[in-house]
Structure 1
Amino acid sequence: MEWLSAGFFVSLLTIILIDLVLAGDNAIVIGMAARNLKKETQKQVILWGTVGAVIIRALATMAVVYLLKIPGLLLAGGLLLLWISFKLLTEKKNHENIEAKNSMWAAIRTIIIADAVMGLDNVIAVAGAAHGDFLLVVIGLLVSVPIVVWGSTLFIKWIETYPWIIYIGAGVLTLTAGKMITGEKFLAPFFTTNPIAKWLLIGLLIVVILAAGKWTKMIGYQVEVGEHGQLTLPKELSEEAQMEPEDRYTVKMDARGKLMLVKVENGEDPDGTMQNAG
């Protein structure tokens, strides 16, 4: 790919966006691993943990870029990336197993290992978007990693405030997956001579993935109402609200006239309207 060409910058922006969307919670991992250390030590942990994570991720991505040249693996990588795009819309990442460490090198090791394990989706996506260009991989990492490390907490807040950002990220991932699938050696001749079919397939994949993600999310938040008015919450919703069977709730009305469940703290008994969450 020619330097400073439009295609180069489009691919670079794609890689940076992929890094931000898929690695936006890496600061959480870093923070959890280093939270028991002194302030001055935390800065060193963040620096060296990030350096180690970047080196491991760069080497892994370059290895995947090479492997994707093997016949059939580009198609497999594209299909896997479609699944990653869908999971991005429907699954929340769990950081509960990231333990805080009391020594600098233990924290650095935890950050590097956690990033390597959690970064597999990122590696596959970036390798697909790079189109075999190692320089794009390196530049993309150098640009996006500082943003991820020092700005990912803000980025996470943006995603929570503007959920459509995730859909843009999933769309870019699906676009990359579609290009990988249609670029597979034994499929490329057909799509090269039929560019309309190529973009129709990619467009269909984007619509299907985004629609499936949205529908799955909606199903996960549906509340069932029993014949006596009891509410049954899905697991995803109760976990997000951090509800436990022993919790007690009362029904209140907000300023817009909507009913809401409000958790009752121990010792409180507002109007005797408590209800058991279980």
Structure 2
Amino acid sequence: MIDLPYIWSIFMIVTIDIVLGGDNAIVIALACRKLPLKQRNIAIIFGSVTAIVLRIVLTVGAIYVLKVPFLHLIGGILLLYIACKLIIQEDDNLSAVKENYTVFHAVRTIVFADLVMGIDNVLAIAGASNGNPTLVILGLSISIPIIIWGSKIVLWLLERYPILSFVGASVLAITASKMLIEEPIIYQYINGRTDLELIVCLLCVFITLLIGFYFNSIRYRRKPS
């Protein structure tokens, strides 16, 4: 007999991971765009699977994650750092970048960013699973191929329109702003005011893009004529 509540819970977990995990596809694409073509699929698959496995572990232990002080504050700051790092050009010579940038670097960035951004996912999925670890594992496992193909689409767009890397970084900055706002120390001053939330969001995006443009312009000026 079909267990409709069980199927519905799996559906909810997959949906939550896709909706809240849209930023993950952007991170994966940005992290892998500097790799040689042959190594991209390895980094995308290995990075995605590793990140999902770690998220499963975190979700199962979500009750302990909730007790970590300043979790959202630290996560928001780290995510802003990742957003800036992903749009700063590391070298003027693209071939040199590809030689020095390895699959390990890409996977490390993907996993680290996923752990930072996965707080909301972890809490939402933990709630949808009703405390059932089997649902968590099955639901997140189903979402793996969806995230992988989503990142490939984003990567395809980045290859043809490099300026989209700044759009991707802006999305990560917005995610970071939401994490900062959810930090109790900050939220007590914002207290649900949408105007202040918008200011924090725009400030995070502005700082991220400013840092990216600044460091990229320095490298452009140093480029030999």
Match of 1:170 in 2: 169
Partner of 2:74: 76
Pair 1:121 & 2:126 matched:
no
CA deviations on 1:111-132 (whole Å, 9 max, x unpaired) are 8x973664111221232x4372
Kindly indicate whether structure 1 or structure 2 has the higher relative contact order, using CA contacts under 8 Å at least 6 residues apart: 2
Change (3 A) 1:30 1:68: farther
- Are 1:22 and 1:121, in contact at CA under 8 Å, matched by a contact in 2? yes
**Aligned AA for 1:23?**
I
Q: Which amino acid aligns with 1:171?
A: S
Give CA-to-partner distance per residue, 1:224-273, whole Å, 9 cap, x none.
6xxxxxxx36xxxxxxxxxxxxxxxxxxxxxxxxxxxxxxxxxxxxxxxx
The aligned counterpart of 2:132 is none
Count of residues in correspondence between the two structures: 196
Residue 10 (structure 1) shift: 10
Question: Structure 2, unaligned stretches of length 5 or more?
Answer: 1-7, 91-96, 129-135
TM-score by length of 1: 0.53
Q: Kindly tell me: are residues 95 and 223 of structure 1, through their superposed partners in 2, closer, same or farther at Cα, counting changes over 3 Å?
A: closer
2:87 touches 2:169 (CA, 8 Å); kept in 1? yes
2:170–2:209 CA contact under 8 A, matched in 1: yes
**Cα offset for 1:73?**
2.2
1:71 touches 1:184 (CA, 8 Å); kept in 2? no
Aligned to 2:54: 57
Contact 1:78-1:177 within 8 A present in 2 as well? yes
Residue 186 of structure 1, CA deviation: 2.2
Q: Give the alignment partner of residue 86 of structure 2, picking from 85, 88, 93.
A: 88
For residue 157 of structure 1, report the CA deviation from its aligned partner. 3.3
Decide whether aligned partners of structure 1 residues 61 and 206 sit closer, same or farther in structure 2, where only a CA change above 3 A counts.
Answer: farther
Amino acid at match of 1:121: A
For residues 28-79 of structure 1, what are the alpha-carbon distances to aligned partners after superposition, in whole Å with 9 as ceiling and x for unaligned?
A: 69954999xxxxxxxxxx98x5895355332355368953642212111111
TM-score by length of 2: 0.63
Q: Which has the larger radius of gyration?
A: 1
Q: Which residue of 1 aligns with 2:94?
A: none
Alignment of 1:153-192 (within 5 A): 155-192=154-191
The residue that corresponds to 1:217 in the other structure is 216
Amino acid at match of 2:220: Y
Greater strand share, structure number: 1
**In structure 2, distance between residues paired with 1:50 and 1:212:** 26
Match of 1:19, SS? Answer: helix
1:172 deviation in Å? 1.7
SS at match of 1:186: helix
Q: How high is the sequence identity, in percent, across the aligned residues?
A: 21
- Give the structure 2 partner of residue 133 of structure 1: 124
List runs of 5+ in structure 1 lacking aligned partners. Answer: 36-45, 100-110, 225-231, 234-278
Alpha-carbon distance in 1 for matches of 2:171, 2:124 = 18
Distance 1:77 1:151, change over 3 A: closer
- Could you tell me how far apart the structure 2 residues matched to 1:223 and 1:29 are? 25
CA deviation map 1:167-198 (0-9, x unaligned): 22212211111111111122222211543222
- Which range moved further: 147-156 or 190-199? 147-156
